[in-house]
Structure 1
């Protein structure tokens, strides 16, 4: 039996998911939470196999932060992100935070059941659109002729800034961590994009993943 904890700030959504999932495909819903801190506490009390985690919970700790903290505290629990955000930056940040899977709220019920089964077995699950994002990023880099030399031309400080960007930190946060000005961070970011031939922050995240700057357990 797969023990499931549902985390969403909307009571109606939680009730609907419970009715949909409880008793299906060997799933038992053992609890629910409305925000991140409550989710972590319930996970400690109930020790679920899978946590079904929403990202946007404005009246408490958000899903990304809760995922990161819960993964650090209880790495044996699989966290499946269930969200409306079909956005590559959210996807990469969720993976880096320790999520085992990422699926959209508009996905068919059968896909959600399959995703829970997959992550409970220790496998990863990505919604088809997320898989397409990853593949697209890889193919784009291949077409651009990306190789080891592109990383070699970066300064040590630029590599540091790239790593913090990839982890989802804002320019202000990076400046505080590295004890430099926000203007200097923006300058390093601009230089990174010029040297690597990239145009957006998500492209920098993809590049960092390819170069092994993000480490997943």
Structure 2
């Protein structure tokens, strides 16, 4: 990871001052070590989680600004989704990915993570990354940046012709916008005042029309699709 002036521009002993951090990892030793390192660099005592129950408790006890998610943690993808529901504004950094794990990099990017700390990067790199992400920025290695740019290019080339011939009903457009917002079937049903099974039918129809298999993939395509089928969207 390159960061011209990044580390030198901050005080190493206080670079994380006032940054509320949540560590999500099911390895106790790693959690405790990382918490000690972060506290030594000025962060308030980090909170920790290792499963869904502890994640919910951590968000209730202390609204974190940054979440550090170890990719090797059991059910890490599910925990990320739940964290985003608990606080859509939390900034997530994924730890432990390999730069060769293209599917993982893309999956996390589509979920909205703000940064990656890969296996080949140092502790100093991680501290700089947390500092940058807490300030509202992002910091990717050249390899990860290349993967994400290639993915965007591929999606753009696939979506444009498909979206032009796509026909969605008014209700499907409503639901697609809600999927883009990350709402559950129950949330959608409550907002539209329809049955949950009706929402499920609409979602299934949307997945079929969009040529995707999951809600996350539909949400990732929503922005490009809605610009074509719903040009008057807000």
**TM-score, normalised on structure 2?**
0.57
Pairing partner for 1:38 from 32, 53, 58: 58
What's 2:23 paired with? 7
What's 1:208 paired with? 222
Pair 1:167–1:57, CA change in 2 (3 A): farther
What's 1:121 paired with? 135
C-alpha contact (below 8 Å) 2:39/2:45 kept by paired residues: no
C-alpha contact (below 8 Å) 2:23/2:67 kept by paired residues: yes
Q: Count how many residue pairs are aligned between Structure 1 and Structure 2.
A: 191
Pairing partner for 1:143 from 157, 167, 175: 157
CA distance in 1, matches of 2:86, 2:95: 18
What's 2:94 paired with? 82
CA displacement at 1:157 relative to structure 2: 0.9
Stretches of structure 1 that go unaligned for 5 or more consecutive residues are: none
Aligned-residue RMSD, C-alpha? 4.2
CA displacement at 1:31 relative to structure 2: 0.6
- Which is further off, 123-132 or 149-158? 123-132
CA distance in 1, matches of 2:157, 2:80: 35
What's 2:110 paired with? 92
CA displacement at 1:153 relative to structure 2: 3.0
Spell out, residue by residue over 1:129-148, the C-alpha distance to the aligned partner (whole angstroms, 9 max, x if none): 76556434422233236169
Pairing partner for 1:157 from 151, 160, 171: 171
CA distance in 2, matches of 1:173, 1:107: 41
CA distance in 2, matches of 1:151, 1:15: 53
CA displacement at 1:107 relative to structure 2: 5.4
C-alpha contact (below 8 Å) 2:166/2:209 kept by paired residues: no
* Matched residue SS, 1:53: strand
CA displacement at 1:208 relative to structure 2: 1.4
**TM-score, normalised on structure 1?**
0.61
CA distance in 2, matches of 1:174, 1:141: 27
Stretches of structure 2 that go unaligned for 5 or more consecutive residues are: 1-13, 50-54, 98-103
CA displacement at 1:15 relative to structure 2: 2.0
CA distance in 1, matches of 2:164, 2:177: 15
Pair 1:147–1:118, CA change in 2 (3 A): farther
Pairing partner for 1:17 from 34, 37, 45: 34
Matches within 5 A, 1:47-196: 51-54=66-69, 62=79, 64-70=81-87, 79-83=91-95, 86=104, 88-93=106-111, 95=112, 101-104=114-117, 106=119, 108-109=121-122, 110-126=124-140, 131=145, 134-144=148-158, 146=160, 150=164, 153-169=167-183, 171=185, 174-175=188-189, 177-178=191-192, 179-182=194-197, 184-196=198-210
CA distance in 1, matches of 2:142, 2:206: 30
